[in-house]
Amino acid sequence: MLHYNVPQELIEIIVDEVASSKDDAQRVSTLCVCSRTSWSFLTASRKHLFEEVTLEEDAGDDTETSLKDGSRLKDFLQILENDPCLRYAEQQHLSLNIKSLNIRLSGARAARNKRGFRALNRERSFLPSILKLIPGIHKFGLSFDSRQTCNSWVFVDDPLKGALVQFCTSQPIITMELRHIHALPLTLLIDCLGLVSLSVDGLTEVDEQASRTPSQLSFSMLESLSVTYSSNFLELLGRVHLRTPSDIIHTPFSSLRRLETPLGMIEWEFIRSLPSLSHLCFSRTSEPFNRYSYLDLRHLKSLRYLMLKWNFGNTNGFASLPYVIAWPKPGADVEVEDFPDLATVPILTLDIFGEWNFCTRRNEQQKFMASAGWNSLDGVLSSGMFRNLHFIRFDLTLRYTALSTLTHSVEKYLLKKVQEKLPELLPILSKSDSIRIQLDIHVAIHE
């Protein structure tokens, strides 16, 4: 019998091709078969099989779901502990393939802890033991499996809390995503010194009590920050900035270039302190901008891209675009008015995402009338204050209660109608040779 030595480079090309399949079930099944073919295929296959791992904490009781979750965690722990590659120095250990780890904490386990019934938890979670065996992830996600009111860090099992803090502050984490956690300790954030991207959603009342004074590296490498449904989070980060020693070389947030946040005065005070900010998104905006008299984008000298996400509610809300005042209000900021080099807003691109809910056929025409909203936006953006602006995109979604025709047909019809009305909606901008306008319309049905 003839034996052929297949070059490792060819094996990796084959496995990479298998891993690129869009059918996830087929991809995993084929990679598992490859991993059992030979040592060479095992190493190449495990790189894809275990690159991204999601672990769900069991509820700690005897329910069927909890027993399954606990069994999966136990099996995964045994896989890590019994990895055959541990016996061979030249083989890459399985845990080294894990680059992204997402942990979903059990709301049911936390609820029992909240009620003082910790003893009812059948056994401790396997998660702390698993975390000790994972040496070098780059992306980390932590969330509760639901949005219950007991989703507090306080009610997480103590061994797991300690293991998570130790894990996060000792790993080379570049990207972190935190969801639906109350009273998370601030130290878990400020001690992740290599963070480049941070996303928080539903992070409430972060616990500052146990945190130490930020070091010169805290948030100094952060380039991207997204904040959603996390009240006062930017105010907290502002306090971190103030607590940082003044004699350090790398100040917090000095590298921050991309920010997504709701808009309010507290958020604006943080935003205007960012020297390197080039991409800014105001999310969940539902009020007309004449409420924000303090908003003056001329402060942001590096800003090149601005996104506005408006949700106009139902038909009883904003019928059309909300009214936009001369933005920023002339003469409102003496500091800016005194410096001619700050006379213009530096953005080059503006994206406006708008969404209307509970629409019905024909009443959607109200959204695209030459009202004060569209015309005032036209007046503001065509003024000398926005002379650097070159591209505007409107990405508008209308959600209907019901449709008798295909959504694609309605989208096509509305796009044609609105494009025809652009000279009325935006009389100055639509005639500009220096500003390009793109219009995208999406139609969906409420579930």
Is there a single domain that holds both residue 296 and residue 426? yes
For residues 106 and 58, is the Cβ–Cβ distance under 8 A? yes
Is there a single domain that holds both residue 273 and residue 295? no
What local confidence, expressed as pLDDT, does residue 191 receive? 86
Pair of tokens at residue 109: 């386990």
Residue 335 lies in a domain: no
Residue 337 lies in a domain: no
What local confidence, expressed as pLDDT, does residue 316 receive? 45
Give the number of other CB atoms < 10 A from CB of residue 229. 16
What local confidence, expressed as pLDDT, does residue 174 receive? 96
Is there a single domain that holds both residue 294 and residue 425? yes
Residue 2 lies in a domain: no
pTM for the predicted model, two decimal places: 0.85
What local confidence, expressed as pLDDT, does residue 227 receive? 94
What local confidence, expressed as pLDDT, does residue 443 receive? 92
Round to whole Å and give the CA distance between 260 and 281.
Answer: 4
Residue 248 lies in a domain: yes
Residue 408 lies in a domain: yes
pLDDT tens, position by position, 113-128: 777 666 555 567 889 9
Cβ-proximal residues to 334 (8 Å cutoff; 6+ apart), any chain = none
Is there a single domain that holds both residue 59 and residue 38? no
> Which residues make beta-bridge pairs with 197?
175, 224
What local confidence, expressed as pLDDT, does residue 163 receive? 94
Is there a single domain that holds both residue 143 and residue 182? yes
Round to whole Å and give the CA distance between 26 and 20.
Answer: 11
> What's the total number of domains in the chain?
3
What local confidence, expressed as pLDDT, does residue 330 receive? 46
For residues 312 and 355, is the Cβ–Cβ distance under 8 A? yes
Is there a single domain that holds both residue 237 and residue 322? no
Is there a single domain that holds both residue 164 and residue 300? no
**What tens-digit pLDDT sequence spans the chain (447 residues)?**
445 577 777 777 777 777 777 777 878 887 888 877 777 787 888 888 889 999 999 887 777 878 888 889 999 999 999 988 888 887 888 999 999 999 999 888 888 777 766 655 556 788 999 999 999 899 999 999 876 666 899 888 888 999 999 999 999 999 999 999 999 998 888 888 889 999 999 998 888 875 555 555 678 899 999 999 888 898 888 887 666 655 555 567 889 999 999 888 888 888 988 889 999 998 865 455 545 666 788 888 999 999 988 877 654 444 566 655 445 554 445 455 555 555 788 999 999 998 888 888 777 777 787 776 788 888 888 888 888 999 999 999 988 888 878 889 889 989 998 899 999 999 999 999 999 999 999 999 887
What local confidence, expressed as pLDDT, does residue 55 receive? 95
What local confidence, expressed as pLDDT, does residue 224 receive? 97
Cβ-proximal residues to 244 (8 Å cutoff; 6+ apart), any chain = 213, 214, 216, 218, 251, 252
Is there a single domain that holds both residue 166 and residue 33? no
Is there a single domain that holds both residue 194 and residue 323? no
Q: Cis bond leading into 328, ω under 30°?
A: yes
Residue 351 lies in a domain: yes
Helix, strand, coil: what percent of the chain each, to 5? 40, 20, 40
Is there a single domain that holds both residue 435 and residue 378? yes
Residue 157 lies in a domain: yes
Burial string for 70-91 (b: 16+ CB within 10 Å, else e) reads beebeebbeebeebebeeeeee
What local confidence, expressed as pLDDT, does residue 284 receive? 64
Is there a single domain that holds both residue 250 and residue 316? no
For residues 161 and 128, is the Cβ–Cβ distance under 8 A? no
Cβ-proximal residues to 242 (8 Å cutoff; 6+ apart), any chain = none
Helix residue ranges, H only, 364-406: 372-381
Residue-range definition of the domain harbouring residue 224:
51-116+124-277
What local confidence, expressed as pLDDT, does residue 326 receive? 44
Residue 336 lies in a domain: no
Is there a single domain that holds both residue 267 and residue 285? no
CA-closest candidate to residue 307, choices 272, 259, 372, 264: 259
pLDDT tens, position by position, 222-246: 999 999 988 889 888 888 766 665 5
What local confidence, expressed as pLDDT, does residue 317 receive? 42
